[in-house]
Structure 1
Amino acid sequence: MSELILYSGNAFSVADGKGRFVLPLEMRKLVRMASGGDNRLCLSIHFDNGCATGFGLSHKLHLFTEVEEMERAAREAGRAFNADLEHERRLGTIEDVNFDDGGRFALHPDIKEEAGITDAAFFYGVGRYFQIWDPQRLADSPERPMLIRNKARRWLEQRAAGAIK
């Protein structure tokens, strides 16, 4: 699990009758690789962007290791650093879920609520993790690239016109 996994690309998913979303195929392959071959997905909230995040177990280990490095650097510089609090912030909000071979998974209700996701989600690969957005929230987010916001707007328009269920 030490290989660097980088997510890119994007896709929409509409919840099925059981409320499950489908992890896009390429992201699914990378999550499985990042989780040692298991269908194990880590989900959390991006507190600055208002979306959910997803990644494999290797990124969870990276987050832990990053805090350990921050603590070591603070100690060497003679600065105070609360590693417990930083571990809580980075790791305490992560929910681990399984996904089936078709990529279906349940998004934790707390994460759905925080990210404003109801019955549709936009998966957006941004490096070590991918973001999971409510399409309307993404379209309304001025900080996101125009290309991505326009893609979300077009999808919402098509859905409103009945072209997407």
Structure 2
Amino acid sequence: MQGFFHGYAMNGIDAKNRVSVPSGYREVIEARSHARIIVLAPHEREPCLIGYDQAYSARLYEKLDRRFGDDFGPERDDAARRQFGATEQLGYDDNGRIVLSPMIKELGELDRLAFFIAAGDTFEIWNPNVLLEVKGASDPRLARIVRAQIEAKGGKA
């Protein structure tokens, strides 16, 4: 796998549900999968979205296959639906913008701002106010970054 996601960014979501994906994230996506396509899904444990490239999607399938082998029973079906059923593959334009569907936006609890934060193989997209509620007390450095980014966008944290 080529490269990892690093850093953070706060970007606005416009009236057409478009949001710009950070350029460094796009570089990793294109290096890994040679495509301008991002996979978004609800995070399994957090009230946010998780994003990755198509090559990482293939790794997730391999992991599922190793876990269940030739057992194609209901437990595998449930795991596969959780892993792949609620995903959306979104191409981005020359400006790096994707268009969020109303459903994926709702699943990510997104409103007018999207806070992107890297997680190595993947990245997360948070409503910054939800992130502050969920993680702010346990990670004061992250809370400080998020508050500064909200203020830079003209909001109030």
Q: Do they superpose with TM above 0.5?
A: yes
- Paired residues, what number? 153
CA distance in 2, matches of 1:81, 1:5: 35
* Aligned residue in 1 for 2:150: 156
Over the matched positions of the two proteins, sequence identity in percent amounts to 24
8 Å CA contact 1:139, 1:150 repeated in 2: no
8 Å CA contact 2:17, 2:101 repeated in 1: no
* Aligned residue in 2 for 1:7: 5
In our comparison, the structure showing a higher alpha carbon Rg is 1
The code of the aligned residue for 1:146 comes to: P
* Aligned residue in 2 for 1:34: 32
Which whole-Å deviations, capped at 9, do the CAs of 1:8-56 have from their partners, x for residues lacking one? Answer: 2110111235321000010011112222x22111010103110011110
The code of the aligned residue for 1:131 comes to: E
Deviation at 1:5, TM superposition (A): 4.2
Q: How does 1:36-115 map to 2 (within 5 A)?
A: 37-72=34-69, 82-115=75-108
* Aligned residue in 1 for 2:133: 140
**TM-score, length-normalised on structure 1?**
0.83
Deviating runs (4+, > 4 A) in structure 1?
Answer: none
RMSD: 2.1
Change (3 A) 1:25 1:85: same
8 Å CA contact 1:51, 1:132 repeated in 2: yes
CA distance in 2, matches of 1:23, 1:146: 25
CA distance in 1, matches of 2:3, 2:86: 21
Task: Give the match's secondary structure for 2:6.
Answer: coil
Task: Give the match's secondary structure for 1:82.
Answer: helix
CA distance in 2, matches of 1:31, 1:150: 28
Q: How does 1:119-138 map to 2 (within 5 A)?
A: 119-138=112-131
**TM-score, length-normalised on structure 2?**
0.87
Deviation at 1:81, TM superposition (A): 7.7
CA distance in 1, matches of 2:125, 2:43: 9
